[in-house]
C-alpha cells in the first residue's frame, strides 16, 4: 500500500516502529501531488524544500526516542487562509498575490510544535467566499471523484487534497459550512468546532463572529487527533475560550449507547436530492441499531438562516476587507492620486463574488438600513440559537444531511448566486449558533459521488459528536472507498 494513502494513526505507528521515515512519507506525498495536481488544482503553493527540511527534523526527533505526539512527521496541508511565516499566503485573491507574512498564526505554530510537516497551501474560494472553489483567482479545483464536478467550498482545495491522498490531513475554515460541505462533496471527515474552541489568530478574516478553524481528515480518529492538537485557549484571540481540551481520541473508545439523536424535520425538505435523503435516513437506522435512540425534533426558524447569515456575514466582510487598500501590503494598482489608488486597487484586486459581498454588507450597514437588515438578522440569529437550546433539552446530538445535493458540475451554479448560496442551507445555522458540527461520508449517489451526513452537538461537546461519528464509521465501510485517479 502507498504511504500517502494511510491515515495519521496508521502512519504514527509505522513512524514509531521505524518502519518508515518522515522523509520517505513526505516524498511519497509530494510525488502524489506531482502526479495528480495538474488535474485537480488542489494547491496554490507547494512547500517542497521546507517540507523536506521539516521531515528531516521530525526524523531526528523520532531517532531520539523522546516523547512526542501523534502528528510528528505527518504531512499536513493548510488552506491558504492561514498566515504562514515566510510562505506566500494569498487567500486565493489577486490582492494578496505576493503577500509573504512575517509570522505564523496560532494553529500553524501548534502544528509546527507537534512536529507536523507543512506540505503546502491549498486552493479555496477567494477570501473564503463561496461553495464551489470556483471563485479562486488562480484556478478551479476539481473533485477527485469526478473532475467535471466541484469539490465544494470554500475549503475545496483542502477537501480534494485529503480525498486524493495529496496530504495525510488538512486544516480548513468554516464560516457557513466551508469545512463540512466540501467534506461531504469529497467523501471525507470534516469538523467545525465550537466557536472559540480553536484560535483564529493568524487566520485571514471573512466574518469574525462566524469563522472557525477545523480538521479535514480521512477518518474520524484522525479528526479527533488533529482537533486535539489545534484546540485550546489563545490569549492572542479575544474570542478564544479558556476551557480545558479533552482527549478526543481517547474519548472515541466510549460507546455512545443510550444517547438520543434528534432528527430535525426542517432538514428533510422537498427539493433535497432523493439519494441524499435515502442515504442519511439509512445512516440514522445504522445508529439506531447500535443502541442510539432516535427522536424527531423541530428547529422552526431554520428557513430564516440563509437570509440572516448573508446579511451578517457580508456586513462583517465589508468591515474586515476595508483594510485591503493597497497601502501597507498586498497589491497596489498604479494611480494618479490616493482616491484612485484605493478604487483601482480594489477594482482589480478583488474578484466579482468578493465585490458582491462587500457591496451587500456595506448596504446592510448603511444609514437608514442598519435596523431593517443587520439588527433584524442578529435577532433572527438569537432565535436560531434558542431553537437549538430547546432541541438539546430532548437529545444529545442532531443528525441531518450535510448538503441538499451531491457535488454539482463546474459552472452549473455560477450564473445564479442564490442557488450557490443555498448549497449551505443545512450548515449555516450551526455557525450562527456557534455550535460544533461534523460531516462524514454515508453513501454514494448513482453517479458515484459521495453523500455526507452531518452530526451537530452541544457547545464544547465535540467528544460526543466524534463518538457518534466513530460508531457509524465502524459499522460501515464508506470511509474506506477512494476515488480512482
The domain tally of the chain equals 1
Among residues 28, 137, 158, 178, which one is catalytic? Answer: 178
Helices 305-320 and 376-391, packing angle to 10 deg: 130
Q: Is 154 a catalytic residue?
A: yes
Do 421 and 310 form a contact (C-beta atoms < 8 A)?
Answer: yes
| Mean pLDDT, range 459-475, rounded to an integer | 97
Do 277 and 401 form a contact (C-beta atoms < 8 A)?
Answer: yes
Among residues 22, 93, 154, 199, which one is catalytic? Answer: 154
Q: Length of the chain in residues, anyone?
A: 485
CATH number of 85's domain: 3.90.1300.10
475 dihedral zone (left: phi>0; alpha: psi -120 to 50; beta): alpha
Residue pLDDT, tens place only, 202-252: 999 999 999 999 999 999 999 999 999 999 999 999 999 999 999 999 999
**In the prediction, which pLDDT does 1 show?**
74
Distance between CA atoms of 135 and 331, rounded to whole angstroms? 18
**In the prediction, which pLDDT does 237 show?**
98
Specify if 219 maps to a domain.
yes
Specify if 453 maps to a domain.
no
**In the prediction, which pLDDT does 387 show?**
98
Indicate the pTM of the whole model.
0.96
Q: Is 385 a catalytic residue?
A: no
**In the prediction, which pLDDT does 477 show?**
87
For β-strands 293-297 and 189-192, DSSP reports them as unpaired
Specify if 386 maps to a domain.
no
Do 362 and 318 form a contact (C-beta atoms < 8 A)?
Answer: yes
Do 466 and 413 form a contact (C-beta atoms < 8 A)?
Answer: no
Specify if 243 maps to a domain.
yes
Mean pLDDT (the chain) is 95
Distance between CA atoms of 58 and 16, rounded to whole angstroms? 11
Among residues 21, 22, 42, 79, which one is catalytic? Answer: 79
**In the prediction, which pLDDT does 65 show?**
85
Specify if 472 maps to a domain.
no
Q: Is 394 a catalytic residue?
A: no
- ω before 456 within 30° of 0 (cis)? no
**Domain extent for 131:** 3-259
Residue 200's pLDDT band, with cuts at 50, 70 and 90, is very high
Specify if 90 maps to a domain.
yes
Q: Look up cell 494598482; give the residue.
A: 333
Helices 22-40 and 156-163, packing angle to 10 deg: 120
Residue pLDDT, tens place only, 411-440: 999 888 878 888 899 999 999 999 999 999
Specify if 460 maps to a domain.
no
Specify if 483 maps to a domain.
no
Do 46 and 119 form a contact (C-beta atoms < 8 A)?
Answer: yes
| Mean pLDDT, range 252-277, rounded to an integer | 92
DSSP-assigned states of every residue in 404-417: SSSPPBTTSSTT-H
Amino acid at each position: 500500500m502507498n504511504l500517502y494513502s494511510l491515515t495519521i494513526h496508521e502512519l504514527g505507528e509505522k513512524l514509531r516502529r521505524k518502519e518508515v521515515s518522515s522523509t520517505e512519507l513526505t516524498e511519497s506525498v509530494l510525488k502524489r501531488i506531482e502526479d495528480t495536481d495538474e488535474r485537480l488544482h488542489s494547491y496554490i503553493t507547494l512547500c517542497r524544500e521546507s517540507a523536506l527540511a521539516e521531515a528531516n527534523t521530525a526524523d531526528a526527533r523520532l531517532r531520539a526516542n523522546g516523547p512526542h505526539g501523534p502528528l510528528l512527521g505527518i504531512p499536513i496541508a493548510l488552506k491558504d487562509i492561514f498566515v504562514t511565516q515566510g510562505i506566500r499566503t494569498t487567500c486565493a485573491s489577486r490582492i494578496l498575490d505576493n503577500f509573504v507574512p512575517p509570522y505564523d498564526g496560532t494553529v500553524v505554530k501548534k502544528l509546527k510544535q507537534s512536529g507536523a510537516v507543512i506540505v503546502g497551501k491549498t486552493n479555496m474560494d477567494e477570501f473564503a467566499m463561496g461553495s464551489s472553489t470556483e471563485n479562486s483567482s488562480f484556478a478551479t479545483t476539481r473533485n477527485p471523484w469526478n473532475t467535471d464536478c466541484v469539490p465544494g467550498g470554500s475549503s475545496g482545495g483542502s477537501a480534494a487534497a485529503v480525498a486524493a491522498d495529496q496530504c495525510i490531513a488538512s486544516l480548513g475554515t468554516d464560516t457557513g459550512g466551508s469545512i463540512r460541505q466540501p467534506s461531504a462533496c469529497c467523501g471525507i471527515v470534516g469538523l467545525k468546532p465550537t466557536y472559540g474552541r480553536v484560535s483564529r489568530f493568524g487566520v485571514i478574516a471573512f466574518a469574525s463572529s462566524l469563522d472557525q478553524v477545523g480538521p479535514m481528515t480521512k477518518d474520524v480518529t484522525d479528526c479527533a487527533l488533529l482537533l486535539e492538537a489545534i484546540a485550546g485557549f489563545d490569549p492572542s484571540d479575544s474570542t478564544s475560550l479558556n476551557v480545558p481540551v479533552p482527549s478526543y481520541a481517547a474519548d472515541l473508545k466510549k460507546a455512545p449507547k443510550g444517547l438520543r439523536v434528534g432528527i430535525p424535520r426542517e432538514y428533510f425538505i422537498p427539493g433535497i436530492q432523493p439519494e441524499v435523503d435515502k442515504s442519511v435516513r439509512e445512516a440514522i437506522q445504522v445508529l439506531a441499531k447500535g443502541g442510539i435512540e432516535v427522536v424527531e425534533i423541530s428547529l422552526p426558524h431554520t428557513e430564516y438562516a440563509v437570509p440572516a447569515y448573508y446579511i451578517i456575514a457580508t456586513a462583517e466582510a465589508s468591515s474586515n476587507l476595508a483594510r485591503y487598500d493597497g497601502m501597507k501590503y498586498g497589491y497596489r494598482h498604479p494611480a494618479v492620486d490616493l482616491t484612485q489608488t484605493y478604487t483601482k486597487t480594489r477594482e482589480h484586486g478583488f474578484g466579482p463574488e468578493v465585490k458582491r459581498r462587500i457591496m451587500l454588507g456595506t448596504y446592510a450597514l448603511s444609514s437608514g438600513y442598519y435596523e431593517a437588515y443587520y439588527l433584524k438578522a442578529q435577532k433572527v440569529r438569537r432565535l436560531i440559537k434558542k431553537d437549538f437550546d430547546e432541541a438539546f433539552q430532548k437529545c444529545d446530538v442532531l443528525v441531518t444531511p450535510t448538503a441538499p445535493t451531491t457535488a454539482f458540475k463546474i459552472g452549473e451554479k455560477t450564473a445564479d448566486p442564490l442557488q450557490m448560496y443555498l448549497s449551505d442551507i443545512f450548515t449555516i445555522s450551526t455557525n450562527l449558533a456557534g455550535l460544533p458540527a461534523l460531516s462524514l461520508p454515508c453513501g454514494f449517489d448513482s453517479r458515484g459521488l459521495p453523500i455526507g451526513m452531518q452530526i451537530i452537538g452541544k457547545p464544547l461537546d465535540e467528544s460526543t459528536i466524534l463518538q457518534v461519528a466513530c460508531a457509524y464509521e465502524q459499522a460501515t465501510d464508506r470511509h474506506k472507498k477512494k476515488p480512482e485517479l
